[in-house]
Structure 1
Amino acid sequence: MEERTLVEGLRSAKVLSREIQESLPLQVSLTSIGIEVSEFSVTNIQPSPEATKALEAEAREEMLKQADNAIYSRRLASIQQEQQVKERELDTEQAVNAKQQMLEKQKLEAKREQQRQQFSIEQEKIAAQTQNEQERAQLVDLENSNNNARADANAYSIERTLKAYEVIDSERLKIMSQSGLAPEQLIAQAIENLTRGDNKVGSLNFSPELLQMLTKH
């Protein structure tokens, strides 16, 4: 009992009974007079008044301590719960921010893709316009070439006609003019002279207007 505290001693009646029961057969003072203890039990442990007061004070202190511990545990649990709530809220906020960032990134990528497509369409339009302008320029060049060719042909025809007049002597022109021939007939006579003699011409080009004028007579 001396090794135990007062509270342990009051609470260890069964343990104390067993320990005493086991130690009694070893007591020479009992065995020498023929006493054999078959059973031993501690029925009551009663503290002294001073010990009772000490126990009551210790019990009150223990109860206050347990109450403080309970309050601390509740506060700690509340703090932990609040911390968990904040952590969940933070996780939720981070998840929402991550989702928002992902959506913004997708919107930005979609906008970039739209801009790339629009740029590609604009490039195709520019290429088509450039090709149309090139084709239009080629057509203009071709038309100019055709106009130049027609102008050259008309100039050549006029030149040959004038040469036809040059090979006719002035006397014959005078006779032909006095004979009452029309200008078109005179031109026909002049062209006929180009096919005779040493200065005859192998071929002549007539403009549609000149040919129409000559075929009237």
Structure 2
Amino acid sequence: MLGIPYFKADSSTYVIKSVNGKVKKKGKGLSFFYNVATTSIATVPINAQQSPFIFNLQSQDFQTLQVQGQVTYRIVEPEKTAEMLNFNLKKDGVNYSSEDPLTIGDLVIRSVQTIVQNTVQNSSLRTALKLGQPLVEQIKKELFQQESLTNLGITVIETSITAITPSRETARALEAEVREMILKEADDATYARRKSAVEQELTIKEAELQTELTVQEKEQEIAESRVENERTMLRTKMEIDQERLDGEIQSEEQRQKLVVLSVENSKQEADAEAYAVSQQMKAFRELPVENLKALALASMQPEQLMAVAFESLANNAEKIGELNINPDMFSQVVKKAVRS
């Protein structure tokens, strides 16, 4: 129908329909027919928006560096945003009648830039190059507190810092410095390794010397123990020899006493025998010769008697005229002698 077009918004767009300056409808994803002559439509995107940024800044020590990142934000109070900025559509119902909607991202990025710039300008180059995550936390904290965004009904969802880089010349200088530092660390590591090797070698040498000293002490203890054992054995042997000698001395003394006693006994026996012999001899001296001969003949063997008889014949040979001796007389004596 001429002059009565149809408008339809998606669910991520907040629509405010005004007729003759008065709000008639508002909400997400509205659709309606409207009179172009009397109706104005404001559409505010309420989905999350992403805006990348690159800031060329200067550190406290006057070194140029670049900060790259991205901020994600969202319009949470579209009515307040529509009051502060012009989000009205042209009569075609498609394009914005002003450039205000395009400035939302710039407003958020400028707020981020202010925070980043203040932080970087108060930090040295080396400190600023390490600000990544701390800077993100600081941006989140300060953006939530900024009235300019709050008044526009905008809230920041997420902020990220993708890179903080110095200028090319500064980067080369830092690379050279880091390279030298790495080389120095390598030299220090080599020195430390050599020092550690020397210390370990010294430790091993000391351990070997300590072990050798311990072995020598043990050997000395063993030698002293051996000498002490030998002394003990020698002392024991001497005591045993002394005891044996004492035993032999006692045995010899006992033997001496025995010999003395034996000699005394033998002497007494000899005296007794001598006394008996003297008494026998005395008795023999007092007996007649014929009696003694008779006693002697009584204890003789037949062959002894024959010998005595022949002796007697020999002594009285001048008195014998003729003597006949029969061989049979000697046969028995010879046989007996042969048997014995």
Question: Please, what TM-score do these two structures have when normalized by structure 1?
Answer: 0.59
* 1:215 corresponds to which of 266, 269, 283: 283
Are the structure 2 counterparts of residues 49 and 130 from structure 1 closer, same or farther at C-alpha, using a change threshold of 3 Å? same
Q: Is structure 2 residue 167 aligned with structure 1 residue 99? A: no
**Partner Cα distance (1:23, 1:114) in 2:** 97
2:237 aligned partner: 118
The C-alpha deviation readout for 1:17-50, integer Å capped at 9, x for no partner, is: 2322321233345555666544433333231244
State the shift of 1:123 in Å: 0.8
Query: What is the Cα deviation at residue 133 of structure 1?
Result: 3.8
Q: How many residues align?
A: 165
Match of 1:15 among 121, 124, 134: 134
Shift of 1:84: 3.0
Q: Is the 8 A contact 1:14 1:42 kept in 2?
A: yes
The 5-angstrom pairing of residues 74-89 of structure 1 reads 74-89=193-208
1:65 to 184, 198, 223: 184
Higher helix proportion: 1
Q: 1:50 to 1:20 in 2, by over 3 A?
A: same
Query: In the TM superposition, what are the counterparts of 1:128-167 in structure 2 within 5 Å?
Result: 128-139=247-258, 141-142=260-261, 143=263, 147=267
- Sort the Cα spacing of 1:208 and 1:80 in 2 relative to 1 into closer, same or farther, 3 A: same
Q: Distance in 1 between matches of 2:125 and 2:179?
A: 15
Read off the aligned partner of 2:205 and give its amino acid letter: K
Q: Aligned Cα RMSD in Å?
A: 3.4
Aligned CA distance change for structure 1 residues 4 and 105 (closer, same or farther; 3 Å): farther
C-alpha displacement of 1:107: 1.4
Q: Distance in 2 between matches of 1:140 and 1:126?
A: 20
Deviation at 1:119, TM superposition (A): 0.5
Aligned mates of 1:28, 1:53 — CA distance in 2:
42
Partners of 1:25 and 1:135 in 2: how far apart?
Answer: 128
Q: How has the CA–CA distance of structure 1 residues 10 and 144 changed in structure 2, closer, same or farther, with 3 Å as cutoff?
A: same
User: Do the aligned partners of residues 12 and 135 (structure 1) sit closer, same or farther apart at CA in structure 2, a change above 3 Å counting?
Assistant: same
* Equivalence for 2:47: none
Q: Is the 8 A contact 1:21 1:39 kept in 2?
A: yes
Amino acid at match of 1:46: T
Residue from 52, 60, 80 that aligns with 2:171: 52
CA drift of 1:150 comes to 7.0
Identify if the C-alpha distance between structure 1 residues 25 and 130 changes in structure 2 by more than 3 Å, giving closer, same or farther: closer
**Residues 118 and 3 of structure 1: is their aligned pair in 2 closer, same or farther, counting only changes over 3 Å?**
farther
Does the 8 Å contact 1:20/1:40 carry over to 2? yes
Q: Closer, same or farther in 2 for the Cα pair 1:61/1:32, shift >3 Å?
A: farther
* 1:188 alignment counterpart: none
Q: Residue type of the partner of 1:208?
A: A
In structure 2, stretches of 5+ residues that fail to align are 1-119, 288-340
Shift of 1:76: 3.2
Find the aligned partners of 2:236 and 2:189 in 1 and give their Cα distance. Answer: 69
In structure 1, what is the Cα distance between the partners aligned to 2:257 and 2:156? 139
Normalized per residue, the structure richer in strand is: 2
Q: Secondary structure at the match of 1:11?
A: coil
CA distance in 1, matches of 2:191, 2:123: 30
SS, match of residue 163 in structure 2: coil
| Stretch of structure 1 that moved more, 35-44 or 46-55 | 35-44
Unmatched tracts of structure 1, length 5 or more? 155-205
Decide whether the 8 Å contact of 1:18 with 1:41 is kept in 2.
no
